[in-house]
Chain A
Amino acid sequence: MASRLVARSRRGLALALSRAGAGAPSRPSPPGLGKTLGYEPTSHLHGAQFLPCWFSTIASNGSHMQKAQETCKPVAGMEHSDALKVMEGTSPKVVAFSPLEAAITKPRSSPLTIESSKVKRSEIATLVTFYMIPSLLVSSKNGLATSILVGAVFHQIYMFHKEIFLDYVHHDITRKWALIYFKLLLLIMAKETIVYFNFI
């Protein structure tokens, strides 16, 4: 696709340059040239002025005939030298894009993806601490495991009530302060529970 497009645009550029070298800008194009390029020249447009716009449009985005005619209409009034300048300034190179390259590139970074990764990590931590509770319950016989169990239980309590705060406290600053207060409360309660379990 891209190689055929480049070949076609290169051949068209060569033909246009040869016609410009001939020095006949306002003469209509011969039927043989029209057949070679694969289109029928219209009577109301000059062939010499039409060719460079079509070539530049093909070289830029590779669209077909109707789209080329639509985009070239504002440029039809330009002079021959200006049209040639526009044509020469256009780069004939086509940037190839492969769907495989999208998989190789690293994921984009934005505040929304950062927030999404935070929520994902939080959900993973909640799931891990959820399954820690029965595991430690059936296997703990010392104070350290019991303390970890208490921490996991209070983490579950915090995440459960955090969902409630997120649903019912709608203002962001009020919700942040309420969660800060709740975190302080649960931290102190967890510390007291560990003290009562292990030291009394």
Chain B
Amino acid sequence: MGIHEHVEGIKAHWAKNFSFLDYFKKVYGRDKPLPKWTDADVDEFIASDPVYGPQLKAMRESRKFALGGALVGGAHLGGIALKYSKAPHGVVLATGFGAICGAVVGSEVAEHWYQLYKTDKQGANLRFIYWWEDKVAGNQKS
């Protein structure tokens, strides 16, 4: 009885741990995919929603930090490989690896710059998707 309860407790604990994956089920697990949206649609949502609009705007601004970090990381590690190792395949791999690491570090910097750790990022994305779903359904009706 004790072991059984312990095992059930562990299962519940890990189910709670992996509950963040439900977001991907809601976004990608649809019967019919949503039509593609444009930047204008996103800007319309940002202007219309007073709670999740600024969060989504900050999240989109974070992409610039990630891109900048990728450029810096790729240039730095690729430069080191080019200066010391001088192997062409090594330079290519080092540039790619540096870009990935730099993008992650840039995203982390953006998270602290815009204080995204205080927001619900998955909630903001889901709110936009529900808004877009309603808009598309309304357009189909009219």
Contact of A200 among B20, B81, B94, B100 (CB under 8 A): B20
Per-residue interface assignment for chain A, residues 165 to 200, with 1 indicating a CB less than 8 Å from any chain B CB and 0 otherwise: 000011101100110011011001100000111101
Check B9 for interface membership: any CB of A closer than 8 A: yes
Which single member of B17, B76, B80, B100 contacts A197 (CB below 8 Å)? B17
Of B48-56, B101-109, B130-138, the stretch lying at the interface with chain A is B101-109
Whether B19 pairs with A200 at a CB distance below 8 angstroms is yes
What is the minimal beta-carbon distance from A143 to any residue of chain B, in angstroms?
9
Which residues of A are found within 8 Å of B70, using beta-carbon distances?
none
Interface of B is mostly: helix
Contact with A along B89-124 (1 / 0, CB 8 A): 010001001101110110010000000010000100
Size of the A side of the interface (Cβ < 8 Å), in residues, is 23
Question: Are the CB atoms of B13 and A177 closer together than 8 Å?
Answer: no
Which B-chain residue is minimally distant from A145 (CB atoms)? B13
Residue A108 at the chain B interface, CB threshold 8 Å: no
| Contact between B100 and A185, CB atoms less than 8 A apart | yes
Interface size, chain B (Cβ < 8 Å): 26
Q: Is the CB of A174 within 8 A of B20?
A: no
Smallest CB separation, B120 vs chain A (Å): 8
Question: Of residues A142, A182, A185, A195, which shows the largest number of chain B Cβ atoms within 10 Å of its Cβ?
Answer: A185
Indicate if the CB atoms of A188 and B104 lie closer than 8 Å.
yes
Binding site for A on B (CB under 8 A): 9-10, 13, 17-20, 73, 76-77, 80-81, 84-85, 90, 94, 97-98, 100-102, 104-105, 108, 117, 122
Apart from the given pairs A181-B101, A181-B102, A184-B104, 5 other A-B contacts in the complex at a CB distance below 8 Å: A141-B13, A174-B81, A196-B20, A198-B17, A200-B122
Question: 23 A-B pairs, CB-CB below 8 angstroms?
Answer: A138-B10, A140-B13, A141-B13, A146-B17, A171-B84, A173-B80, A173-B84, A174-B81, A174-B84, A174-B85, A177-B77, A178-B97, A181-B73, A181-B97, A181-B98, A181-B101, A184-B105, A185-B101, A188-B108, A189-B104, A197-B17, A197-B18, A198-B17
